[in-house]
Chains A and B, each alone.
Chain A
């Protein structure tokens, strides 16, 4: 990314619990001030990686750098990190102020310095009126703010978030997500954020690392991940409703599946090849319907099987070459089961994968 020293650097990280390899040869560089999201389904190793960076888990091999310091063997408190947990993990017997100042007291910081830092954090997070309360008397959102404050007072360069919004209700989650983004814009710290929620990942991240089985499947900007997924797993994982996949043959930049033919001339190939087995992925929102479909490069007709109105848009299920596909239409689209629907497909917005290797071509 930049020529400056990266804020966090992970080199060839291995982690094993007995015979189980949780992380394998993992490399990651995070630039100064970057918001990196580790995204993946449960058990993919994303929280484990975060715990390794925090120093809460002893790694089996490799190195971790924070700033220009090798912190591989350092204690969590010496690494210059602040961490926010999913369950908030506030000390229940301490007041909010006690929670915020606990780390500073452990570091034997002078009293007025602690006071000014706590005040500053409380002001930023707007929790000043709550300072004398105990965590039990706070709402979920307030607790999470205090948890963020606990990281904030430490005045560190790197913030680690372990699914911080997962315990909140849907509305509050959206609110705090926005707040977090504003906070990042204001503080410009490096932030590493673990989540399984792809909306959080897409909205917050400068870059997303999608993980599976202890490996990073793709590391890129939300735009890259969404529009140019590097492999089938990423393509399927990102996007809700997920991508439609059709198997077929690729020959002379033409995709064929039975009667369906898609000329892929406008598609950006990594390497032009002819392959017997390829998979094409088309996002439900990239299937064009209505008047605009007439201008699409490929036009075909489908019969609607199922309609799911979702308010903001309508999800339509139909069969295309014997595969059920999902089409996203606008919210007030007037469609019903059994209707014939003309759809347009733009091959340049699709993704092509080798079915065998599952890699993008």
Chain B
């Protein structure tokens, strides 16, 4: 295609198999295989029957595709004394997730907004204390919170867990929102004040509409964090209100009977589906939001 005696003119021709390309794409390929292989094994195993699994070829696709393990995992796998599968845990998790999500994001965004735009005496100290909260290990706070929840009568209830998630999400979310609002040109805020908008007017009419991407980011953070939470779920709720992750653990780690690898795999995939879906749905919006969030340009 490209002669060595050709006179340089116009676009410089690029070699496809250059050393840098091989290194870059080669590394990417190896890393993706490394990460995708477990997923492949899980999906394949979950679609096999037990006899086929016992044959041992964990990497091979199923000879006979069956969805039975998925159905069982969802609707009649046994966890402890209940045999209604993960479905109950799923709805429990939804009931925990939605209020925690709304509550933590609304409080944290107003927090961040106030700390960025309505600085008050001691606001920096307040912010520092709040951020410091992010560095305290959860283990230290587990028992005090047990006492706290017991005293206010929320121990073991979904509401109690929602409260815990809201509190623990506060430092990082406040930081996220504060930094976002602080990066918005101050003049916009000043213009809104001259236009007679107050604290809530500026928040709802000016800043909120232009901050959708950061809300999506916060949502992604919270959905994955809360949905994948195991520790708080197992401590602060009771079996009837266990979130999905706790139920999954009970299914997978049950010591009685045969280990049903296909059901375990299906249950694990089902549990991971919500964060996965969030990434797929919001990923595009997320990127587009950042690109469209140009304030000045």
The interface of chain A, by Cβ under 8 A from chain B, is: 51, 54-56, 75-77, 81-83, 85-94, 102-103, 106-107, 136, 150, 154, 162
Q: How far is the CB of A141 from chain B (nearest CB, A)?
A: 15
**B195 adjacent to A89 (CB under 8 Å):** no
> Which residues of chain B in 200-215 are interfacial with respect to chain A, using CB atoms and an 8 Å cutoff?
201, 205-206, 209-210
**A54 adjacent to B194 (CB under 8 Å):** yes
**A83 adjacent to B191 (CB under 8 Å):** yes
A92 to B192, CA, bound (A): 12
**Given known contacts A89-B187, A89-B190, A91-B188, is B210 in contact with A103 (CB within 8 Å)?**
no
A33 to B194, CA, bound (A): 21
By beta carbon, the residue of chain A nearest B196 is A77
List the 8 closest A-B pairs by CB distance, nearest first: A77-B196, A103-B195, A93-B209, A106-B196, A89-B187, A89-B191, A85-B187, A89-B188
Q: How far is the CB of A246 from chain B (nearest CB, A)?
A: 44
A154 to B187, CA, bound (A): 18
**A76 adjacent to B294 (CB under 8 Å):** no
CB neighbours (8 Å) of B296 from chain A are: 87-88
Q: How far is the CB of B178 from chain A (nearest CB, A)?
A: 20
CB neighbours (8 Å) of A86 from chain B are: 187
- Is B295 close to A, CB under 8 A? yes
CB neighbours (8 Å) of B195 from chain A are: 77, 102-103, 106, 150, 154
CB neighbours (8 Å) of A107 from chain B are: 196
CB neighbours (8 Å) of A103 from chain B are: 194-196
14 more contacts with CB within 8 A, not counting A83-B190, A102-B192, are A51-B190, A75-B196, A76-B193, A83-B191, A87-B188, A91-B191, A92-B294, A92-B295, A94-B209, A102-B195, A103-B196, A106-B197, A136-B294, A162-B187
**Of the candidates A54, A91, A162, which one forms a contact with B192 in the assembled complex, judged by CB atoms under 8 Å apart?**
A91
**B190 adjacent to A85 (CB under 8 Å):** yes
CB neighbours (8 Å) of A93 from chain B are: 209-210
Name the residue in B191, B196, B209, B294 with the highest tally of chain A Cβ atoms < 10 Å from its Cβ: B191
Tally of contact residues, B, Cβ under 8 A: 20
CB neighbours (8 Å) of A87 from chain B are: 185, 187-188, 296
CB neighbours (8 Å) of A82 from chain B are: 194
Name the residue in B187, B188, B201 with the highest tally of chain A Cβ atoms < 10 Å from its Cβ: B187
Q: How far is the CB of B59 from chain A (nearest CB, A)?
A: 51
**B194 adjacent to A102 (CB under 8 Å):** no
**Of the candidates A51, A55, A150, which one forms a contact with B191 in the assembled complex, judged by CB atoms under 8 Å apart?**
A150
CB neighbours (8 Å) of A85 from chain B are: 187, 190-191
CB neighbours (8 Å) of B80 from chain A are: none
- Is B51 close to A, CB under 8 A? no
CB neighbours (8 Å) of B210 from chain A are: 91-93
Q: How far is the CB of B212 from chain A (nearest CB, A)?
A: 9
CB neighbours (8 Å) of A55 from chain B are: 193
CB neighbours (8 Å) of A83 from chain B are: 190-191, 194
CB neighbours (8 Å) of A88 from chain B are: 296
By beta carbon, the residue of chain A nearest B190 is A56
CB neighbours (8 Å) of A90 from chain B are: 191
By beta carbon, the residue of chain A nearest B205 is A102
CB neighbours (8 Å) of A51 from chain B are: 190
> Which residues of chain B in 73-130 are interfacial with respect to chain A, using CB atoms and an 8 Å cutoff?
none
> What are some 21 contacts across the A-B interface (CB < 8 A)?
A51-B190, A54-B194, A55-B193, A56-B190, A56-B194, A75-B193, A76-B196, A77-B193, A77-B197, A85-B187, A88-B296, A89-B185, A89-B187, A91-B188, A91-B192, A92-B294, A102-B192, A102-B195, A102-B197, A103-B195, A103-B196
> Which residues of chain B in 37-77 are interfacial with respect to chain A, using CB atoms and an 8 Å cutoff?
none
Name the residue in B191, B193, B194, B196 with the highest tally of chain A Cβ atoms < 10 Å from its Cβ: B194
- Is B297 close to A, CB under 8 A? yes
CB neighbours (8 Å) of A162 from chain B are: 187
CB neighbours (8 Å) of B209 from chain A are: 93-94
CB neighbours (8 Å) of B205 from chain A are: 91, 102
A55 to B191, CA, bound (A): 11
By beta carbon, the residue of chain A nearest B293 is A92
Name the residue in B190, B192, B201, B297 with the highest tally of chain A Cβ atoms < 10 Å from its Cβ: B190
A82 to B195, CA, bound (A): 8
CB neighbours (8 Å) of A136 from chain B are: 294, 297
**Given known contacts A89-B187, A89-B188, is B297 in contact with A81 (CB within 8 Å)?**
no
A27 to B195, CA, bound (A): 27
A85 to B205, CA, bound (A): 19
CB neighbours (8 Å) of B187 from chain A are: 85-87, 89, 162
Q: How far is the CB of A172 from chain B (nearest CB, A)?
A: 16
Q: How far is the CB of B110 from chain A (nearest CB, A)?
A: 19
Q: How far is the CB of A142 from chain B (nearest CB, A)?
A: 14
CB neighbours (8 Å) of B194 from chain A are: 54, 56, 76-77, 81-83, 103
Interface 1/0 per residue, B281-296 and A, CB below 8 Å: 0000000000000111
Name the residue in A75, A86, A89, A106 with the highest tally of chain B Cβ atoms < 10 Å from its Cβ: A89
CB neighbours (8 Å) of A81 from chain B are: 194
Q: How far is the CB of A105 from chain B (nearest CB, A)?
A: 9
A102 to B191, CA, bound (A): 10
> Which residues of chain B in 201-233 are interfacial with respect to chain A, using CB atoms and an 8 Å cutoff?
201, 205-206, 209-210
Q: How far is the CB of B217 from chain A (nearest CB, A)?
A: 18
Q: How far is the CB of B192 from chain A (nearest CB, A)?
A: 7
**B206 adjacent to A56 (CB under 8 Å):** no
**B201 adjacent to A106 (CB under 8 Å):** yes
A359 to B190, CA, bound (A): 38
